[in-house]
Structure 1
Amino acid sequence: MKGSLCHELKSSLSAAEVWEVYGGVLLGQLIPQLLPDVLSKVEVVVGDGGVGTVLRLTFPPGIPGLEYQKEKFIKIDN
C-alpha cells in the first residue's frame, strides 16, 4: 500500500513530545480505543517502532474479505 495522509493541528506541545506518541507504536495501541469501528487490534509482530517494524492490524468483524493486514515500516520521516 502506498499513500499519504495530511492534517494540520496547532499544539502547545513540542514536536518531540508529539512524535513520542504519534510517531511510534503507542499510536497503534490508541487507535483501537479511539476508532473501534476501523481497527479492533494492533499488534507488534517484529520490532520496536523503528524501520523494519511489522504490525498486524486486525479489523472488526463484519468487513467482508478483510480480516487483517500486515504493515512494515520501511521508512520513517518525522
Structure 2
Amino acid sequence: MEGPYIHSGGFDSWYDQSRTPNPNHDLASIIAYFRPDADPIERQHVASMMYKVFRYCPEQRLTTAQLLQDPSFRAIMEKYGC
C-alpha cells in the first residue's frame, strides 16, 4: 500500500509489493556501469560472488569457508595474485 511514509510529501513506493524488478537495473548492469574498464569475465565473477553472499536468508548465504572454495572468488583472487 502506498501512502505517506515519514515526510508528508513522500510515499512509501519503495515498499510497494506489486512492483517488479527492472531488468535494466540488475546487479550485473550496475557493476558494468560503475566499472566499465573491468574485464567482462571479471564482472561476471564479481556479480556471481555478490549474488551468493548478499542473500536475505542466512541459510542461503555462502559461509566464509564456502566463499574461499567458490570458483568465482578463486578466479578473482588468482587474477590479483592473492
Per the shorter chain, which TM-score range?
under 0.3
Higher helix share: 2
Higher strand share: 1
TM-score calculated relative to the size of structure 2: 0.26
TM-score calculated relative to the size of structure 1: 0.27
Flag the structure with more relative contact order, 1 or 2, with Cα contacts below 8 A and sequence separation at least 6. Answer: 1
Which of the two has higher C-alpha Rg? 2
